[in-house]
Amino acid sequence: MRRSFFPFLDDLPDGHSHALGGYAVRWEAEPLRFTVESLAASGRSAHVLWASSAGVPFVAAAAARSRVVDTRGCFTVRDRVLGACLQQRVDRVYVRRDAERRAVHFEGSFGDAGCGNASWSLRLAADLDEEVGRVRPLLFELGVAGHAGSAELNRAQLRLHLGGAPAVWGVGAQFTHFNLRGHCVPAFVSEQGIGRAIPFAHHSTWRGQRLMTWLLNAFGGGAGGNAYTTYASSASFTTSAGAGLVLSSSELALFDFGSGGCAPSLLRGGSFGGTGTSRDALAITVHARSMRGRMLAPVRAAASGGRAVGDFPAADLPEGAGHRGGGFQTESQPLRLLEALSLHTGRQSPLPEWTDDGVILGVQGAPSRARI
């Protein structure tokens, strides 16, 4: 590692890694790629948790203008891209050391016409003070600045590789799709909708549901909803590869889990960069100049023998570390991941003791609604 002019900055050479808590960040200039790996008890890198696609830009930015329509809690956001900066350049990668923590910084610019004064920065830092259920977060912050043409940048996008994750769950309470791999999901709270255009081919009323959805969307201010509208949205998710991510940014976010093309949702238009372009890419777009959040993964135990934490098939978890008899066990790796995730997304309080003791009466709707 080459020491810079400033004593608290060290350049990170091409092909080298730097340890951040229980993680290692590796940078490769050729092909353009960075990886985040978990560290085994020996300190060696053992499992890739997050990585950008080799030779593909992992940061993009755009200037866009939105038109938002709200009808009794039913939202439609029409986004128009005025200019985009897609040809990412990495100008410098360095490690910054201070009293609290170390962080790996990526800084760069864009080679697109009209993006001469545009720049970006990505910071990765381990939060050594926070560890829940042996899950330690890796903080990240992406920022963009400058202009695309004459318009100021106000969209930031981070693109990662999804290859080893056959299943993705989350983005709040989703009522249509459980596994979100292959879907493009906005994180935004709205009315759930009536009909939601759910084509249940095995159900005799599916044509009626589609017709109802169309009528309510066309004449009821969008009250029909769609497959992704939800009362309880959350900018967070976990994967079957044993990793999770949660944003702390409050702006509208769009998660493209390898859709290959986003279907219409409450967000219409606004695609740029990695959105809708690949089946193996995760593209996270925030309607702001910065994106902040945490990457999560269970800390590897010394007794695990170096095996990849969370490295389990989606429907066949290993003995003692997952699903047995219909419920998650105390030492389940997915349970640890969800415990850490819910620390930031919110966690339901334990039910009061009276819910398990005595009689619960249904008093609304009389006998036609309440049955014993």
201 and 53, same domain (yes or no): no
329, 320 Cβ separation under 8 angstroms: yes
Q: How many domains does the chain have?
A: 2
165 and 256, same domain (yes or no): yes
Residue labelled with tokens 């005595």: 358
Q: What is the DSSP string of 305-367?
A: TTPPTT---TT-PPTTSSEETTEE-TT-HHHHHHHHHHHHH--PPPPPGGGGSS-----SSHH
Q: Which domain holds residue 197?
A: 193-228
Cis omega (within 30 of 0) for bond into 31: yes
Going residue by residue through the chain (372 aa), what tens digit of pLDDT does each one get?
444 444 456 788 777 888 887 788 999 988 899 999 877 666 666 678 889 999 999 999 999 999 999 998 999 999 999 999 999 999 999 998 765 678 999 999 999 999 999 999 999 998 766 665 566 788 999 999 999 999 999 999 999 998 767 899 999 999 889 999 999 999 999 999 888 875 544 444 455 567 888 888 888 888 888 999 999 999 999 998 888 999 999 999 999 999 988 887 889 998 999 888 888 899 999 999 999 999 987 655 444 443 433 444 433 333 333 333 344 444 567 777 888 888 888 888 888 888 888 777 766 665 665 555
Residues paired with residue 302 on neighbouring β-strands, in sequence order: none
197 and 168, same domain (yes or no): no
Question: pTM for this structure?
Answer: 0.83
CA-to-CA dists, residue 298 to 22, 26, 272, 279, 282, angstroms: 9, 19, 33, 26, 21
Q: What CA–CA distance (Å, rounded) separates 154 from 143?
A: 10
261 and 182, same domain (yes or no): yes
81 is a domain residue:
yes
206 and 281, same domain (yes or no): no
246 and 329, same domain (yes or no): yes
98-130 exposure pattern, b = at least 16 Cβ within 10 A, e = fewer: eeeebbbbbbbbbebebbeebbbbbbbbbeeee
